[in-house]
């Protein structure tokens, strides 16, 4: 049974008259009458009670319901494939220096293969700033290092580990070490995060108060602290993803021992009525992480 025949049938049902339906469909009345008769023959039933005004038999009523479902489904399929060319706009994504954010280039590459008119705005900032921008609708998505209050967000927890360590000059005396211990940290001038929740996690790992460390400065972004490390003024406690792009001829990063690692999430505002490009991107993210 052809989709076109079902569409013709629904037009006849709507117009309640073969002649008016033929005018709407731009076909001749005899042609449309013949096609409706062929439809009845194909289904081995009578679907119309013919008179001054066409009405449906019980079989016709059932056919109308099924025809509406089929035509609606086919229109949806057609619409979704048209959208591959029509969806456009800007998707904004925020992140600090996280290993998990390394999936973003692949996400963008594959998404743009399907929706080439979509572009991305990538914002770098602290977790607090990214969270604030998400809350105010200034970002569509954000990578956040846990622990973080995500009560206002929906999210996907990402499998990548965010490993903590110490950044110092490449010629530092600890550069020959494979990892940095709790005791070695006591002997270093340090820059540490200003995020209270993260400091709590670090303190739990240390087994002693953070205040016992020699803290030269606190930071919200690694970019602010890197010059202190490069000049040997202080070493920086940070996650590995924050320093992946740093020049290994100038900097060395060594993980902590025993390992201190955390997880991160890709978050978006809870109950946001995402549509357009952001909605399609959310569908895509969920499909590959389901």
- CB neighbourhood size of 17 (10 A): 14
User: What ranges do the domains of the chain cover?
Assistant: 3-85, 88-159+264-288, 161-261
- Contact (Cβ atoms closer than 8 angstroms) between residue 136 and residue 105: no
At the topology level, CATH places domain 3-85 in Arc Repressor Mutant, subunit A (1.10.10)
Pick the CATH number of 161-261 from 3.90.1110.10, 3.40.190.10, 2.40.50.140, 2.60.40.420: 3.40.190.10
How confident is residue 185, by pLDDT bands cut at 50, 70 and 90? Answer: very high
pLDDT tens, position by position, 208-255: 889 899 999 999 888 889 999 999 999 999 999 999 889 999 999 999
How many angstroms separate the Cα of 265 from the Cα of each of 118, 141, 159, 192? 23, 10, 9, 22
Bridge partners, 215 (sequence order): 190
Domain 88-159+264-288 has CATH 3.40.190.10: yes
pLDDT tens, position by position, 72-106: 777 766 655 655 557 888 999 999 888 888 899 99
- 121: enclosing H helix or E strand: strand 117-124
Domains 3-85 and 88-159+264-288 share a fold: no
Give residues with Cβ within 8 angstroms of 223, minimum separation 6.
none
């Amino acid at each position: 049974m052809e989709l076109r025949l079902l569409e013709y049938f629904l037009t006849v049902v709507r117009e309640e008259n073969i002649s008016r339906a033929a005018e709407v469909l731009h076909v001749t009345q005899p042609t449309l009458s013949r096609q409706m008769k062929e439809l009845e023959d194909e289904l081995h039933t009578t679907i119309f009670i013919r008179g001054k005004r066409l009405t449906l038999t019980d079989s016709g009523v059932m056919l109308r319901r099924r025809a509406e479902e089929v035509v609606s489904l086919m229109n949806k399929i057609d619409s979704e494939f048209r959208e591959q060319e029509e969806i456009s706009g800007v998707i904004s994504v925020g992140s600090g220096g996280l290993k998990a954010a390394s999936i973003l280039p692949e996400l963008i590459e594959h998404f743009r293969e399907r929706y080439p008119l979509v572009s991305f705005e990538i914002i770098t900032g602290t977790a607090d700033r990214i969270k604030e921008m998400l809350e105010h609708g200034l970002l569509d998505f954000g990578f956040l290092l846990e622990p973080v209050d995500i009560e206002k967000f929906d999210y996907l927890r990402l499998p990548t580990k965010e490993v903590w360590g110490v950044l110092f000059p490449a010629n530092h005396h600890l550069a020959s070490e494979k990892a940095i211990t709790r005791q070695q940290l006591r002997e270093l001038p340090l820059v540490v995060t200003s995020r209270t929740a993260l400091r709590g996690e670090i303190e739990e790992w240390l087994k002693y108060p953070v205040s016992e460390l020699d803290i030269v400065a606190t930071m919200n972004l690694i970019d602010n602290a890197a010059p202190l490390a490069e000049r040997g003024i202080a070493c920086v406690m940070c996650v590995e993803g924050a320093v992946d792009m740093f020049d290994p001829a100038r900097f060395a990063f060594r993980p902590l021992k025993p390992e201190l690692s955390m997880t991160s999430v890709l978050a978006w505002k809870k109950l946001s009525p995402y549509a357009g490009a952001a909605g399609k991107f959310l569908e895509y993210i969920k499909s590959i992480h389901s």
